[in-house]
Amino acid sequence: MDNETSELRWGVEQRLEFIEFRLFWEGHVNRSDLMEQFGVSVNQASTDLNRYIGFAPDNMVYDKSARTYVRGPAFKSQFLEPDASRYLAQLLSVADGILDREDSWIADLPPFASAPTPVRGVNPVTLRSVVGAIRRSEAIEVKYQSLSSPEPRWRWIAPHAIGFDGFRWHTRAFCLTDQAFKDFLLSRIIETRGTKLSEVRPDADADWNEQVTLEIGPHPALSDTQAMVIALDYGMKGGKAEIKVRRALLYYALRRLGLDTDPAARKPKDQQIVLLNRDVILGRQAQAEEQ
């Protein structure tokens, strides 16, 4: 089976994944679904459905009354491991306007909404310039507005990665002015101009390349029942969960999880989780800030 599926063309395999996605999440799929999603002909859609049956005959059966294929009772994924994160990411992408509703693989979108976040003014030309510099291992001159200066200043940076702090996008780059690796918010890059070859190696950015592990657990002041609920929320096992994060993103991760302050500063029901290896993590963070 694995050898057969690995030899499929990418387009065919994607359509088979789509069939499986619809069967798992919607419980049914038919030719018109494939035709609308991929723009294929009736014959091609029929071929794809028959090909899928050939690979997984127990996964779907034809319901004559509904005139559609429905998920079989012995359904077992063959092409696409069911992933709640992928499903929810599609909902969020539609909500944020990143993905058009018709491009989503979800046939019947459930009512949904998300907490609004401010739109970040990232200029697409700026992003293109930064990404191009990363790909070509170049330094790029940017006009950057920082909080520490009243007026934007031109400076040379050598970007090597793109980062997201949960709210804002930035580029991780070596600042030739300050001679240090830093985060530069893409929304604060007002203009770009010349580029030049960079000799700065991405592996020299120790904070970016080193990962630290956050060990989180339920707040100790919660009741046993409350702690059990929090453990379910965060997928904890044995009373804790581990979250790996690049050291360069540690500050953002702690802030986003509400772990950047003393747990005693908030009510247990509001704090919910605590950093079990707090001394180790905060020690590393302080060490990084001194460097």
Query: What is the DSSP track for 118-143?
Result: PPP---HHHHHHHHHHHHTTEEEEEE
Rounded CA separation 27/50 (Å): 17
pLDDT tens figures, 246-259:
999 999 999 999 99
Are residues 215 and 279 both part of a single domain? yes
Longest dimension (CA), the chain: 71
Are residues 164 and 232 both part of a single domain? no
Answer with the one of 202, 231, 250 that is the final residue of a domain.
Answer: 202
Answer with the one of 202, 219, 243 that is the final residue of a domain.
Answer: 202
Rounded CA separation 77/80 (Å): 6
Are residues 195 and 131 both part of a single domain? yes
Identify the helix (H) or strand (E) that includes residue 162.
Answer: strand 153-164
Domain span including residue 281: 210-290
Answer with the one of 29, 55, 82 that is the final residue of a domain.
Answer: 82
Rounded CA separation 142/194 (Å): 8
Are residues 192 and 214 both part of a single domain? no
For 93-132, b/e burial (b = at least 16 CB within 10 A) is ebeeeebeeeeebeeeeeeeeeeeeeeeebeeebeebbee
| Per-residue confidence (pLDDT) for residue 7, from 0 to 100 | 53
Residue 104 lies in a domain: no
For 85, the token pair is: 């994160």
Are residues 214 and 256 both part of a single domain? yes
Q: For the ranges 87-91, 222-226, 233-237, 281-285, which has the lowest average pLDDT? A: 281-285
Residue 115 lies in a domain: no
pLDDT tens figures, 212-250:
999 999 999 999 999 999 999 999 999 999 999 999 999
Q: Based on the structure, what is the number of domains in the chain?
A: 3
CATH code, domain with 17: 1.10.10.10
Please report which confidence band the pLDDT of residue 281 belongs to, taking 50, 70 and 90 as the band edges. Answer: confident
Please report which confidence band the pLDDT of residue 8 belongs to, taking 50, 70 and 90 as the band edges. Answer: low
Residue 47 lies in a domain: yes
Residue 89 lies in a domain: no
Taking residues 188-216, report their average pLDDT.
95
- CB-CB contact of 280 with 254 (8 Å): no
Residue 256 lies in a domain: yes
CATH code, domain with 173: 2.30.30
| Per-residue confidence (pLDDT) for residue 285, from 0 to 100 | 61
Please report which confidence band the pLDDT of residue 95 belongs to, taking 50, 70 and 90 as the band edges. Answer: confident
Residue 235 lies in a domain: yes
Residue 111 lies in a domain: no
Helix 31-38 / helix 42-55 crossing angle, nearest 10 deg: 120
Q: Give the neighbor-by-neighbor strand order of the sheet with 169-175.
A: 180-185, 169-175, 153-164, 138-144, 189-197
How far, in whole angstroms, is CA 182 from its chain's centroid?
22
Are residues 240 and 193 both part of a single domain? no
Are residues 195 and 239 both part of a single domain? no
The average confidence (pLDDT) of the chain is 91
Taking residues 156-160, report their average pLDDT.
98
Name residue 248's amino acid. Answer: A
Please report which confidence band the pLDDT of residue 1 belongs to, taking 50, 70 and 90 as the band edges. Answer: very low
Residue 92 lies in a domain: no
Please report which confidence band the pLDDT of residue 115 belongs to, taking 50, 70 and 90 as the band edges. Answer: confident
| Per-residue confidence (pLDDT) for residue 10, from 0 to 100 | 84
pLDDT tens figures, 16-40:
999 999 999 999 999 999 999 999 9
Alpha helices by DSSP H, listed for the chain, are 2-6, 10-25, 31-38, 42-55, 84-95, 124-135, 206-209, 224-233, 250-256, 268-271, 278-290
Residue of higher predicted confidence among 148 and 244: 244
Q: Please give the torsion angle defined by the CA atoms of residues 173, 174, 178 and 182, in that order, rounded to the nearest 10 degrees.
A: 40
pTM of the model: 0.78
